[in-house]
Amino acid sequence: MKTASSVTLTPKDIFKLVEDELQEVELALKTEGYSAFPLVDDINTYLHDGGGKRFRPALLLLSAKLCGFEGKPAIVLSVVVELIHVATLVHDDIIDNAGVRRGRPSVNARWGNQVTVLMGDWLYMTSFYLALKLKNFRVLNLLIDVTRKMVEGELIQWEQYGRIDLSVEEQLEICRRKTAHLFSGCGRLGAILADIDEQQEEKLGTYGHAVGMAFQLTDDLLDYTSNEDTLGKPVLKDLEEGKITLPIIYLMERADQKEQAFIREVVRTQDFSSANKKRIMGLVQAYGTLSEVQNLAEEYAGKAKTVLLDFPDSIYRESLLNFADFVIDRKN
């Protein structure tokens, strides 16, 4: 159940609070990513011209402002977390053999897997090069820990591809590592920059983690509820790639033996014909598994908002309270 905030802010209102900083982030993503090697520069420009909602930089900047910090280091770390995120997406697309990202050909589709692997590595190294300039070991330790967990999440997911008997807890652990830990890091980085007490830092980390879980569960839902034009990639793409997410895990717990056998066979043979997709969509709707995932996403968003109530009232607290709702109400 959603926890009400005292002020209702639209996504536009929220991002307006950090608009100037996000413009600096956009510029830095291109300038800090500049390379004298034309191929690197071309790919970096292509990646950042493709857009992106900048959820993670916005979360970091709002968290820092909540704690009373504003300044260049917040811009730098916002660039760092976005570069880490983009590097992960670039590598993901190779693993998934994805041809589309944000409605455009993916980097691997345009430049090939070999170049794309190296580009992902370059993005990771550039992010840590920028972070190192701050000479803050707490920041570096956090970023290294988060990045390791994200890579471990990718490895765990790769190992579990096509496993139709995946448990709810196993899938939630993948969500934690792939997504929630970086969101948590964004909250904590804002607190570290402000040098507030460790307990408050942990609370912002808890907030970010819960928002990240809500974000990822919503992403998993959108694979079933959105459309290609809105989502920027084909629907049911996760399932086609062998990613068994909660809508299917819940379905396998409720479906009868014949229906379970059908789903297993589709996943095993990769026979994602229009008819099979339609039947799967009908089953998740009939058994209410999409609603169950939505409810879980709302629980995480509610947890995030509850943690924030320990902070003094301010427009930045209200923005983060509304941010938690925004990530589960989005359509792409």
State yes or no: pLDDT of 78 exceeds 70. Answer: yes
Would 323 be classed as within a structural domain?
A: yes
State yes or no: pLDDT of 2 exceeds 60. Answer: no
Tell me the one-letter amino acid at 213: M
**Contact between residue 280 and residue 263 where contact means Cβ atoms under 8 Å apart:** yes
pLDDT digits (tens, 9 = 90+) for 109-154: 999 999 999 999 999 999 999 999 999 999 999 999 999 999 999 9
Run of H or E residues at 101: strand 100-101
User: CATH no. for residue 204?
Assistant: 1.10.600.10
Mean pLDDT of 40-45: 90
Q: Note down the domain range covering 195.
A: 11-329
- Distance, in Å, from the CA atom of 220 to the CA atom of 163, rounded to the nearest integer, reads 16
Would 51 be classed as within a structural domain?
A: yes
- Other C-beta atoms within 10 Å of 265: how many? 12
Q: Residue 118: what pLDDT? A: 95
State yes or no: pLDDT of 100 exceeds 90. Answer: no
State yes or no: pLDDT of 1 exceeds 50. Answer: no
**Contact between residue 289 and residue 250 where contact means Cβ atoms under 8 Å apart:** yes
Would 1 be classed as within a structural domain?
A: no
Domain count, the chain: 1
Would 89 be classed as within a structural domain?
A: yes
**Contact between residue 109 and residue 99 where contact means Cβ atoms under 8 Å apart:** yes
Would 3 be classed as within a structural domain?
A: no
C-alpha 168 chain-centroid distance: 19
Mean pLDDT of 67-79: 97
Run of H or E residues at 282: helix 274-286
Would 298 be classed as within a structural domain?
A: yes
- Distance, in Å, from the CA atom of 266 to the CA atom of 260, rounded to the nearest integer, reads 10
**Contact between residue 154 and residue 132 where contact means Cβ atoms under 8 Å apart:** no
Q: Residue 187: what pLDDT? A: 98
pLDDT digits (tens, 9 = 90+) for 262-319: 999 999 999 999 999 999 999 999 999 999 999 999 999 999 999 999 999 999 999 9
Would 6 be classed as within a structural domain?
A: no
